Structures are given as C-alpha cells and as structure tokens.
Structure 1
Amino acid sequence: MPRILIVEDEEIIRSALRKLLLHAGYDVADAGSVDDAEREQDLQQFDLIISDLRLPGAPGTELINRAPNTPVLIMTSYASLRSAVDSMKLGAVEYIAKPFDHDEMLAAVETILQQRDANDEAAPTSPEATAANASDPSNIMYGECDAMRQVFHLIRKVAPTETTVLVNGESGTGKELAARALHLLSPRAARPLISVNCAAIPESLIESELFGHEKGAFTGAVSARTGLIEAADSGSLFLDEIGELPPEAQARLLRVLQEGEIRKVGSTQSRQVDVRMIAATHRNLKAMTRTGEFREDLYYRLNVMQIRIPPLRDRLGDILGLASKFLKRQSEKMGNPNLNLSPEAMRALQRHRWPGNVRELENAIERACILCEGDVITPAMLDLEMEGDDVNIPQSLVEGNNEPTKPQEADNGNDLSLEDYFQHFVLENQDRMSETELAQKLGISRKSLWERRQRLGIPRKKTN
C-alpha cells in the first residue's frame, strides 16, 4: 500500500485530504509544517509527499531538498500559482491549485505513483529504453480499437518533432493524457510540462498569467511575475480549452508561435522562449474562425498536426476493456479484488451513449464498487439513467430524493470534506465578497463558481 505524507497547516484542508486518500486505499500521515514533518516522520519512507506551498517556517518546496528521493506534489492557492510553477523548477513533480476536485487530486496522485513505480523498476543499464516504454501512449491511455491505434501511431510519429499539435476531442476523452504522452516521448521529456486550463483563469488575468507582468503594470501588481509560457521555456506548454482564450491573448500567443518571443504585460522589452506548444479543445475552431471568435491565422499556426481523440460511443470495442481496467483498480483500493460485472451490467455499459466519455465510465465503475455489497455489480449499481431501461440506483441509497444536498453543520471541523470546504468558504464570505472575488480566492472561474452553486444547492446572496 503506497504511503503518502500530507504537509498542510490548514486543519480543514489537511483533514479532508487525509480522508479522501484513506478512502482511496492509501496509507496516510500528516503534519502541519516542514519541521514537524521531519521531526515526526522518516521522510524517506513515503512514496509521495503532498505539501502546501506556504507553510509556517520553511516553505513546502524545502521538502524537495529534505526528501530528495521522494516525489513532492505542491498545493497552492490561485494567488500563488506562478510561485508553484517556480517550485517545479526546483524539482516538484506536479502542482495543483486549491481548492481542487476529488477526481483531480486522485488522478494526480495515481499518475505520480505510477511514474515512481516505473522508475523503480527501470533497469540501470538501459534507463532510456525503460523511460520510453513507460511513456508510450498505449501505457498512458487505453485503446484496442482501430481509432485509438491510429491515435497512438500519430503520437509516436509527431512526439519526437518540434511540431505544434492540436488535440481535438469531447470533454472526458483523455486530451490531457495525449498531451502528456506527446511530452514524455519528446526530447523535452526531462524538462517541465506546464498545463494551463484557459477556461479556468479569469479573462482579466489571462494575459498576465500566460505572459507575466512587470511591477506596477496594473492595480495589484506589487512585484514582477514570470508567466507560464516563460516557465515552460525549453519544455512543453499544454493549453487546454484554447478556444476560450480572449482576442487579446490570442494575438499575443500568435507572436509566440511566429517569432518565439514574449513580452510581459507592462514591459517594453521582449525575450526569446523555446517552447513546444500543445493545444486542446472540444470546440470547432475552424467554425469559430468564420464567426470571428477565434483568429484564423492562430488557428492555422496551431493546426499543423491535429490528433482527434474519438468519443467513447465510437469505441464500442474498448468499453468493456476500460471498465475492466477501472474495476480492477477500484476494487483493489477497496480491498475487494473479487468484484466483477454481471452479464446484464456489461450489456448496459455497451448500450449506454456515454456523453461524458471515459471520465463518465470511470465514475460509473467507482460508484458501482461503492454500492456493491457482494461480489457482482448489477446494472442498477451503475446508475446510467438509460432511457427506456429500468436502471436506477436504489432509492434508499439516495439522500433527499436526488435533490441537491444542503450544507450540513459538522460536529467537528475535522469531518469536513473538500465539497464541505467549498460550501463553508462561500457561505462564510459571500456577504463581504463579490462573485468575482469569491471565484478568484477559490481559484476557479465565475462560471465554475455558478455551476458548483447549482450542483450543491448554495443560493447566491440577494442584493437590494
């Protein structure tokens, strides 16, 4: 069982993250500072350290030096995102913005541990061959159908080049996994891969975030900052949901692709950068160029090589293979390796249209594993809501008749989950903060804030 150390001074976050990881089947310890962690634990005995960036005393990045053989994942608030990028230069394997979704954190942890296992098993005489095998797209993404074999073929062909790649596919198909495979198979694999979700950054800050800014460039710019493009210098930059970039940022990005140079907001000087660009979108950029939403010249600069990830409904031969893979992983985490799908459940999986693609399938399997009280998963446990089929989750297992669960007062702050933390923060601060300020403090967009309010049943404060 992998051992994980959490170093976080906020008790609510530390407790919630501990519960999340314990539920996922990990052995977890925690501490409130770097010094406490070193005094109370043997840092070399952990498979992964998850640490906040800003801590009392030494910063979280100090753990990179004190535990040189253990991967360190840095957590950071939105306001210090650029500092987290700097931490990757110091040796952190990944960073994640707070507050984060359960799936986002678990996916990052699983990826890091898989990479660590691959490195541990590497033959000392041929590290290059082993690294290439571990980073092969077929080991990062699953696919046996012809469409996915073609995707793997294109990734292997284009990865060793410097060509700009546009990854196209619906939400949940695995576009970020394709970008990771492109980076790991490239000559830049030893350098950072900086991932940016263009839809998650407020429009007013996107240029500063990507290109950096000088001190005094705008209100609140109290010091100069390095942008994410500059942080990716000599490495790869993955721009997810690039169709959401505002026009001004599109024009600046075009210059990066044409001239290989950036200019910080508020600066008169440009500097050269060497960045391999990988972009992804679920939108039709070609159609957006006709409506003026996306620059045509930028589209053609990005669309040198396009890799299309097929939706799961077009990969019927992969559905049961993916389900088996997710079932094996989830059942091992839950300590019940005998879990299996009934024939009826298999047919239900193959009939479903999967609008959420691979992510929806993974969630369905995890849900079924939790609800299953024996060894056989039935269609009802999958809760696929297929039209015309009587496939529903047992009513006794649904709280509030499927209505949004209202925030509950916890007897002890240590029992708060990450969703509870979101509710707690919004309810505590919405009387004195605008929606924009709330979204910025939480590190999400206003649209994401609204969507979470709807999902969790948190009404907006009414203004007179």
Structure 2
Amino acid sequence: MQRILVIEDENNGYSELVEILSGHNFQVENVHSINQAVDDFPIASFDLIITDLRVSGQAGTDIIPLAHEIPVLVMASFASLRSAVEAMKLGAVDYIAKPYDETDLLSSVEDILNKHSHRSTTQERRQSKNASDMIYGRCQPMRKVFGLIDKVAPTDASVLIQGETGSGKELAAKAIHELSRRSNQEIVCINCAAIPESLIESELFGHEKGAFTGAVSARAGLIEAADGGTLFLDEIGELPLDAQARLLRVLQEGEIRRVGSISSRKVDVRLIAATHRNLKALSRTGQFREDLYYRLNVVQIRLPPLRERGRDITGLAHLLLNNSLDRMSRPEVELSSDALRAIQEYNWPGNVRELENAIERGVILCENDLITADLLDIEPTAAEISLNQGLVRSSANPQQMSSHHLSNINRPLSMEDYFQQFVLENQSRMNETELARHLGISRKSLWEKRQKLGIPRRKGDEAKN
C-alpha cells in the first residue's frame, strides 16, 4: 500500500482530503506543520507528500529540500495560483487548486505516483548494473576502464574515448549512456568519417529551407535529435575545423544554430567523443582545435588494444563463438587447440572487430564440430612483419629516441599514431632515409604515409636529402 503524507492547517480535527485518499486504499498520515512531519515520521518512508501552500505560518515549500526524491504536491486556493507556480519552480511536481474536484485530485495523485515509481525502478535498475555487465573484460586494463565508466556515467561530464580501430569505443559509449540518468532517452551515434565534408555541418546542426541548393525544407540536425540524451561522435578527429568551431559552441553555450538560420536553439546533450588518433598531437599541428580538445577531454578513457588484454583474448573468442552460433542457429562447434594458440599469438591489429570476423569466418567454413587455425585465416602479412621488426629495431636503440618518446612508449597507440609521433619527434635529427630505416619501411612508403596523415616535412629537409 502506498503511503501519503498530508500537511495541512488544522480543520477541527477533520480532513476531507485524508478521507478521500483513505477511501481509495492509500495509507495516509496527517500532520499540521512541517516540524511535526519531521519529528513524527521518517520522510523517506512516504511515496508522496501533499502540503498546503502555507502551513501554520510557514511556507509549505520548505518541505521540498527535506523530501529529497519524494514528490511534493502543493495545494493552493485560486487566489494563490501564482504562488503555486512559483512552488513548482522550487521543486514541487504539481499543484491542485482548492476547492478541488475529487476525480481530478485522484487522477493527479495516481499520475505522480506512477511516474515516480517508474523513475525509482529505472534508477534502481541503473544502480544495480555496472560496466562489466555490458562489456567483457577480466584483465587489469579493462577493470580500470570499467571503474572509470562507472564513475563518470552518472555525471554529465564530456568523455573522450581513445583506442585503436575495433577496440570497442562505441560499446563503451553505449555503456556510459546506459548507466547515466539519460538512459531513458536516445543515444545518437555519428561516425564523423562517414559523412562527406560538404554535408557534415548540415547533418550535425540541421538547416533552414533554402540554406543551400537542395534544401527544399527545414531539417533538424542530429544534435537536436539527441536533445535530452547522449551524442556520440565517433572518429571526431576527422571533423573539419569549421564544424569543430560550431561544436565548441554547443559545449560552451548549450545551443546550436542551423545552417542558414539567424537564431540559436537551446539543446541539452551529453557529449561522448571517440578517436583512434592522437588529438593532442593533431592540435599541435593545427589539424584539431586545441580549445575543443580541452573541452572534450574532461574525462579520458583509454581502451587497451586486444593484444594487451592477455587471457581476455581467448575468453572473448569463446564468447564471440557462442554469439555466432546463436545468430546462425548452428550446432555446437569448438575451437581446436591450434586455433586457440593462433588466436593467443596473433597481433590483432583490427582488435575485437577482427577477432569477431575471424570467428564468424571459422563458423561459416567449418565442416565438422571443430574450427582449426587455418579456417581463421589470421596469418600476419609480410608488411606487418616488416613494420613490427622496424618498431623493435627503433625500440632497441634508446639513444636514438627522445626521452619524451621513451616515457610514452607503453601508451596504447595505433600504428598511425605511433608513426606520426615518431616522425614528428625525430625528423629534426634524422633524414628521410634514417626515418624509413628505423620504421622498417621504404622511403616511398614514408612519403606516402606523410601525405596520407598530413605530416609536413620540415624546412631544410630537402637540402639534407
């Protein structure tokens, strides 16, 4: 039975409100002052508090901060409705006007109790879950990730997730959303690298009719679609600089302006961004706004690459195998000992996504109840062996590497990030031939990677070479 506390001025010992509520199977307690309510009952034991606007010379709204999560309904005469509206601004969930209609009163009470019950259930469910229930991981690096997710999820802080391609950045973002107070709203996921540069501002911020050729009607952007919920921007390092400036305004002012509009709109979004690139290094070269980087980097979560997760690799393989079997309705299939050994020894440059594809390939090609190593098709290529050997050679010559690089060598970087960091930090004292030799690649490959990643050669390098 739901409990309701009624706080109202004395009426010769009779309360019509108490009688109505008691007659509809509510357990009702009646007091005549806030002090009496606090002294006689634990406030948290009630499901709803109904109070007069003024009780015994005191503002009835004084109970609101004492009620915490318990909803407070205010009663007011028609002459005091303005004050009742002010009470809602202080935290009351609703007000009813005296004299009240019994049907309207009961309808309001039941609506409030139903909403509060749903909110309490959602909150309890959210509090009973944690990140490790949604993402597989037993190793120490993943336990650290889970701890960060559990801490940051209940807040509205911006989060920057860094990790190699396929390491589970979107899964981590969805876990943060699911554990947040916004979990009953949408999470809108956007891959910035998948949207053409000419369309990205229109897609993110929306546009007005006639803003450009083809804009035959006004359209809300994806940021507006995430209003009240969470916006996940994957591969944010690919966002053009103009769009970065607009996004910075969203974070600073909580508002957007559609393309072609002269007015701004308020939005309430929680931003989670992800990238496989080193945004700090990009900000130093002018490819990413430094002010946006610091706005995003309130809490940073680094996802370890699969090769650094130890026994998690085989555990994930079994989990993904069971998922594939369920999805394909296949009979029981096992991984052979040589397949498990190959899975454990492989470098997994594509991380969990590559492992999932390999397992699915094995399930499809398997003709009996055993998946062998050759069905996984995960032999390293000659190029990968050459690059890995080059990295080993450069690591074996610490006198040729900067102390700053050595202090960061254990950080989980992608191959592209490692390449960019190594070149930027060593090109002032190495020529192109030496850089290529230490990286284990040809000068032509070095030039091609420079072009791809937009790493300029220092002035004077041409003369040296």
| Shared fold (TM-score, shorter chain, > 0.5) | yes
Task: Flag the structure with more relative contact order, 1 or 2, with Cα contacts below 8 A and sequence separation at least 6.
Answer: 1
Q: Which residue of 2 aligns with 1:228?
A: 222
SS in 2 for 1:239: strand
SS in 2 for 1:199: helix
Q: Distance in 1 between matches of 2:121 and 2:291?
A: 44
Change (3 A) 1:334 1:204: closer
Q: Which residue of 2 aligns with 1:105?
A: none
Measured against aligned partners, the alpha-carbon deviations of 1:85-106 in whole angstroms (never above 9, x if no partner) come to xxxxxxxxxxxxxxxxxxxxxx
Q: Which residue of 2 aligns with 1:142?
A: 136
What's the CA shift for 1:301? 0.3
Q: Distance in 1 between matches of 2:379 and 2:161?
A: 30
Change (3 A) 1:203 1:369: same
Measured against aligned partners, the alpha-carbon deviations of 1:161-204 in whole angstroms (never above 9, x if no partner) come to 01000000011011000110111111111111111111111101
Q: Which residue of 2 aligns with 1:214?
A: 208
**Which of 305, 311, 321 lines up with 2:315 in the alignment?**
321
Q: Percent identity?
A: 65
Q: Distance in 2 between matches of 1:262 and 1:361?
A: 40
Q: Which residue of 2 aligns with 1:11?
A: none
What's the CA shift for 1:133? 4.5
Whose radius of gyration is greater, 1 or 2? Answer: 2
What's the CA shift for 1:291? 0.7
Q: How does 1:263-412 map to 2 (within 5 A)?
A: 263-386=257-380
Q: How does 1:4-403 map to 2 (within 5 A)?
A: 126=121, 128-133=123-128, 136-386=130-380
Change (3 A) 1:335 1:210: closer
Q: Distance in 2 between matches of 1:266 and 1:258?
A: 21
Gaps of 5+ in 1: 1-122, 389-464
Measured against aligned partners, the alpha-carbon deviations of 1:296-323 in whole angstroms (never above 9, x if no partner) come to 0000000010001110011122001000
Amino acid at match of 1:287: A
Measured against aligned partners, the alpha-carbon deviations of 1:129-184 in whole angstroms (never above 9, x if no partner) come to 345556x3222211000000111110000000010000000110110001101111
What's the CA shift for 1:347? 0.6
Q: Distance in 1 between matches of 2:119 and 2:371?
A: 43
SS in 2 for 1:255: helix
Q: Distance in 2 between matches of 1:295 and 1:125?
A: 41
What's the CA shift for 1:385? 1.5
What's the CA shift for 1:338? 2.5
Q: Distance in 1 between matches of 2:148 and 2:306?
A: 19
Measured against aligned partners, the alpha-carbon deviations of 1:185-244 in whole angstroms (never above 9, x if no partner) come to 111111111111111111011111111111111111111110111111111100011001
Q: Distance in 2 between matches of 1:191 and 1:324?
A: 33
Q: Distance in 2 between matches of 1:284 and 1:317?
A: 27
Over the aligned positions, Cα root-mean-square deviation in angstroms equals 1.9
Q: Distance in 2 between matches of 1:128 and 1:337?
A: 39
SS in 1 for 2:193: coil
Q: Distance in 2 between matches of 1:166 and 1:319?
A: 25
Measured against aligned partners, the alpha-carbon deviations of 1:67-122 in whole angstroms (never above 9, x if no partner) come to xxxxxxxxxxxxxxxxxxxxxxxxxxxxxxxxxxxxxxxxxxxxxxxxxxxxxxxx
Measured against aligned partners, the alpha-carbon deviations of 1:257-287 in whole angstroms (never above 9, x if no partner) come to 1111111111111121111000000010000
What's the CA shift for 1:374? 1.1
Change (3 A) 1:305 1:354: same
Q: Distance in 2 between matches of 1:370 and 1:146?
A: 33
What's the CA shift for 1:125? 9.9
Aligned 8 A contact 2:126 2:180 in 1: no
Aligned 8 A contact 2:307 2:351 in 1: yes
Q: Distance in 2 between matches of 1:271 and 1:253?
A: 13
SS in 2 for 1:366: helix
Q: Distance in 1 between matches of 2:249 and 2:120?
A: 43
SS in 2 for 1:333: helix
Q: Which residue of 1 aligns with 2:100?
A: none
What's the CA shift for 1:387? 5.8
Amino acid at match of 2:319: K
Amino acid at match of 2:355: L
SS in 2 for 1:316: coil
Q: Distance in 2 between matches of 1:144 and 1:380?
A: 28
Q: Distance in 2 between matches of 1:162 and 1:347?
A: 43
Measured against aligned partners, the alpha-carbon deviations of 1:397-435 in whole angstroms (never above 9, x if no partner) come to xxxxxxxxxxxxxxxxxxxxxxxxxxxxxxxxxxxxxxx
Q: Distance in 2 between matches of 1:330 and 1:174?
A: 18
Aligned 8 A contact 1:328 1:337 in 2: no
Q: Distance in 2 between matches of 1:207 and 1:230?
A: 13
Q: Distance in 1 between matches of 2:381 and 2:216?
A: 56
Amino acid at match of 1:129: E
- Taking structure 1 as the reference length, the TM-score comes to 0.55
What's the CA shift for 1:124? 13
Amino acid at match of 2:342: A
Q: Distance in 1 between matches of 2:207 and 2:127?
A: 37
Q: Distance in 2 between matches of 1:267 and 1:126?
A: 41
Change (3 A) 1:127 1:340: same
Q: Distance in 2 between matches of 1:261 and 1:208?
A: 15
What's the CA shift for 1:371? 1.2
Q: Distance in 2 between matches of 1:326 and 1:212?
A: 38
Q: Distance in 2 between matches of 1:250 and 1:281?
A: 14
Measured against aligned partners, the alpha-carbon deviations of 1:318-359 in whole angstroms (never above 9, x if no partner) come to 001000001112223344442111111111100000010000
